Amino acid sequence: MKNIAVLGTGMVGNTIGTKLTQLGYNVMMGSRSATNQKALAWAEANGANASAGTFEDAAKFGEIIFNCTKGEIALDVFKMAGTENFNGKTIIDISNPLDFSKGMPPSLIPELSNTNSLGEEIQKLLPEANVVKTLNIVNCEVMVDAKKSGGDPTMFMSGNSAEAKEEAKAILEQFGWNDIIDLGDITTARGTEMLLPIWLRTWMATGNGYFAFKIVR
């Protein structure tokens, strides 16, 4: 099984990393510092398959990299990690370009929406990597266990590399996603990133984060 890096120590990174170790992957959680307490605690809690390091350490370690950072800092994180360390690798980007500066609900960052997307900007920054946008339209617990949504939901993928999308799809299936739609190249991430405001308002209206989208056809 391929080594996987998880960039980000928040709830999303913790949940993704834990599930991947349970599936038998060797996972390194990356953060700004090799002594990050959240990352070290996560590694200790998840046994021999789990380790922690800097963003750069994780980028070098992972053959597949999950971007679990906040959208507003994602590009800076990739730069900190050393852009050359992502060459030839699959990046599964689950972040969203959200601006929380004015509170809830957040708005989309204008320069990363409508005619652009965060997924596209990551691909531009890392031209030798293969970015796949997926999993960004549900909460982290549903990401790793699709049935927690209460049904058999749909997950979308966007990316330029067919091979990278196959790698991502294999992991999605291990997370319980049976209905996966390949939307096309990375520019189609514009659509799924703009689904997030709908997800947020549904969560705020219902008080329930355990839901997902289903394409009925």
pLDDT tens readout for residues 137-147 = 999 999 999 99
- Let me know: does 129 contact 87? Beta carbons within 8 Å: yes
Structure-block tokens of residue 137: 């339209």
Structure-block tokens of residue 113: 């929406």
> What pLDDT was estimated at residue 103?
78
> What pLDDT was estimated at residue 113?
86
Per-residue pLDDT for 156 more than 80?
yes
User: What is the overall mean pLDDT for the chain?
Assistant: 96
pLDDT tens readout for residues 102-128? 777 777 877 888 899 999 999 999 999
Specify the fold of 4-206: Rossmann fold (3.40.50)
> What pLDDT was estimated at residue 109?
78
> What pLDDT was estimated at residue 182?
98
> What pLDDT was estimated at residue 1?
84
Please list the residues that pair with 50 across neighbouring strands. 27
pLDDT tens readout for residues 1-29? 899 999 999 999 999 999 999 999 999 99
Of 50-54, 106-110, 128-132, 161-165, give the lowest mean pLDDT range: 106-110
Per-residue pLDDT for 100 more than 80?
no
> What pLDDT was estimated at residue 76?
97
> What pLDDT was estimated at residue 185?
98
- Count of residues in the chain: 217
Determine the Cα–Cα distance for residues 122 and 35; give it in Å rounded to an integer: 27
Determine the Cα–Cα distance for residues 144 and 191; give it in Å rounded to an integer: 22
Determine the Cα–Cα distance for residues 64 and 167; give it in Å rounded to an integer: 9
Determine the Cα–Cα distance for residues 125 and 216; give it in Å rounded to an integer: 36
